[in-house]
Structure 1
Amino acid sequence: MAEIKTKPTQVTPASFLDSVESPARREDGKVVCALLQTITGEEPRMWGPSIIGFGSYHYKYDSGHEGTMCRLGFSPRKAQLVLYVLTGADGEAERLARLGKHKIGKSCLYINKLADVDMAVLEEIARHALDDMNARYPSA
């Protein structure tokens, strides 16, 4: 089985955010980082080269594949902010409908800039995602 590449590193989230080229993306990243830290009560940690994550959980698929990943996370990518906060929980679609301009992937929320979204709704989405993660993967 292939080695999992997305795992905690020794790089500090602050130094990673400071290295983000776009000043607007860097500032949006700092806002999202503070928001997720407040919601989770966890210190941010780098997961792989570009994901800032909060907390962790262990998963195991029916296929036997298993690993550890952050409970919530984000990446201030060049094209968009990517937030790993979608779980498919009840009410998620309704919250996304109120968020503002965004795109979604399987578990990813893509935002061009925070000015495009309602920050209160983004906080609500992240809080519900954390609640869902905690229900599915209780801390040991």
Structure 2
Amino acid sequence: MLALHADVCGEQPVVWAGRIIGFGEYRYLYESGHGGRAPLLAFAPGPTKHTVYLVNDFSERWPELMTSLGKHRASKACLYLTRLTGVDRDALRTLLERSLAETLSSDALTTRRR
């Protein structure tokens, strides 16, 4: 996961909030005035599942990748993987690439820092 995220993002890992491994950083600002900082790509390893953070509605945007990914669960912006051995790495890489591209093209994005 470390090598894959770093390769896709081109950034070094940094720990966010004590357990999230993030790559790169961007600032966002919504029309409401709410804003903040977030990693461009991120995941959180865990004892029972690994959480991969992606753009909102990723599973609805790219259902063909979700089908080929292997065993997983998905929420609005999180992909949950219990075992990495059964995951289609090409599908995961494509999800990360598309999520990164969507984040970088987002209207909410204000700046990107390296």
Identify the TM-score tier after normalising by the shorter chain. 0.7 to 0.9
Give the TM-score of the pair, scaled to structure 2. Answer: 0.85
Q: Give the alignment partner of residue 65 of structure 2, picking from 83, 87, 95.
A: 95
RCO comparison, higher one (Cα < 8 Å, 6+): 2
Contact kept in structure 2, 1:87 and 1:132, CA below 8 Å = no
CA distance in 1, matches of 2:29, 2:104: 15
2:23 to 23, 38, 54: 54
TM norm structure 1: 0.71
For residues 87 and 55 of structure 2, the distance between their equivalents in structure 1, rounded to whole angstroms, comes to 16
Partner amino acid, structure 2, of 1:139 = R
The whole-number CA distance in structure 1 between the counterparts of 2:46 and 2:5 is 17
Q: 2:100 aligned with 1:127, yes or no?
A: no
Q: For the residues of structure 2 that align with 1:62 and 1:47, how far apart are their CA atoms? A: 25
Structure 1: runs of 5 or more not aligned: 1-31
- Give the CA RMSD over aligned residues: 1.8
Measured after TM superposition, the shift of residue 91 of structure 1 is: 4.4
More strand per residue: 1 or 2? 2
Instruction: Say whether residues 1:42 and 2:22 are aligned partners.
Output: no
Larger radius of gyration: 1
User: In the alignment, is the contact (CA less than 8 A) between 2:27 and 2:112 conserved in 1?
Assistant: no
- How far did residue 117 of structure 1 move? 1.2
Using the TM superposition, give the Cα deviation of residue 80 of structure 1 relative to its aligned residue in structure 2, in angstroms. 0.3
- When the two structures are aligned, how many residues end up with a matched partner? 109
Shift of 1:44: 0.5
The whole-number CA distance in structure 2 between the counterparts of 1:63 and 1:103 is: 31
- 5 Å-filtered alignment, 1:1-140, equals 32-88=1-57, 91-136=61-106, 137=109, 139=112
Shift of 1:86: 3.7
Which of the pair is proportionally richer in helix? Answer: 1
Q: Which structure 2 segments of 5+ residues have no match?
A: none
